[in-house]
Amino acid sequence: MIITVSPFTLRRTYMFGLWQLPILIMTTLYQAIACYKENKLAPPGQMIDVGGHRLHLMHVPPIYPDDEAKPTIVIDHSLGGVEGYLLVRELSRVAEVCVCDRAGYGWSDVSKQPTTSEQSVTNLDIALTKANVKPPYILVGNSLGSYHMRLYAHRFPKKVAGMVLTDGLHEKAMLNMPPRLRLLQLLFLSGFITSILGSALGFVRIAANIGIFERLKPSLRYLPTHDLRPVARSFYRPKHWLTMAREMARLNTSSKQLKVANEFRALPIVNIRAKSFFKPSWFSWLLPTKEIEEVRSQMHADLMTLSTRCTQLPADKSSHFVWIDQPEVIVQAVELLLLRVTVEPVQRR
């Protein structure tokens, strides 16, 4: 069969391409100028060399210091999130707080090292040590960050006073997901890869400027602009989406690494469980929500066996993104741990 294309069709396609090119040039130039201006501003924390690349670490003292010795709160982000910055303001009311961007997120450099939990934990400990952030720590791990915090507590038990796992993951269920969820995982991965190009061309920044993300996640409208700024800065950049894709691609490897981190004896742990993974919306009916919730239930059951002092807090108005929908529950969890933890008096820096 011979397929013919009329000259009119070719001309229309050519003219459409010519119309697109100036727009792509303008959006890309807009992105480049915006990134240049942002790069001229100093990061809020310090840049620490962890061996071949630098991590950004922000250490915030308590707003209301007292003479009582307390652990330092160390926050690790979710997959693709830099939401720790959304929690600093409230958590610093109860203790000093430390946020460290994993390689490729926020102000941190992209790394050639594997984007796995094992490597993230190694880098985090180097950064905390070089920054002179004294233990003990209360570890707060959001979603994928719960993997890293559990593995950190396993590797450095003497440095950890307690853990908060925010709608965390458990490797048993993650390694045995049904086929439909594996397909969904690949769909997310393809979206992250596409967004690498989209952010480079300025589309992600423009989408944010016209309020697309607030329409998708209305809770964002109520967050202070100052707290959102470092989060948005990361999402605008291709390295952010590249790191998301790399972490997603290595998720099974990280899950296998977590098999050793399931025995914490009497370590105080607060497991926060969101009401559902996604809030009901116009697109949630397209997703295999039943399978997602079954996997989540299994994960939370397994997380509750990590310690003899494991408490579950419900985030009954929240989706998986508790740090946006109900951040007060995370603050409540940390306060609960502070009541359970006794710290030997230490000399203040």
Domains of the chain, first to last: 46-272+286-340 (3.40.50.1820)
3-class SS of residue 270:
strand
Span 154-182, average pLDDT? 95
**Mean pLDDT of all residues in the chain?**
89
Query: Hey, what are 112's tokens?
Result: 């050639």
Asked if residue 119 lies in contact with residue 92, where contact means CB atoms within 8 angstroms, the answer is no
DSSP string, 128-179: HHHTT-PSPEEEEEETHHHHHHHHHHHH-GGGEEEEEEES---HHHHTT--H
Q: Whole-model pTM? A: 0.90
Q: 107 vs 43, 48, 56, 237, 260, CA distance in Å? A: 7, 11, 6, 10, 31
Beta strands 54-60; 97-100: pairing state: antiparallel
CA distance 14 to 75: 51
In tens, the pLDDT along 197-253 reads 999 999 999 999 998 888 878 888 888 888 899 999 999 999 999 999 999 999 999
CA distance 292 to 321: 15
3-class SS of residue 100:
strand
Query: Hey, what are 3's tokens?
Result: 């397929």
Instruction: Say yes or no to pLDDT of 7 above 60.
Output: no
CA distance 20 to 250: 36
Amino acid at 164: V
pLDDT band at 67 (very low <50, low <70, confident <90, very high): low
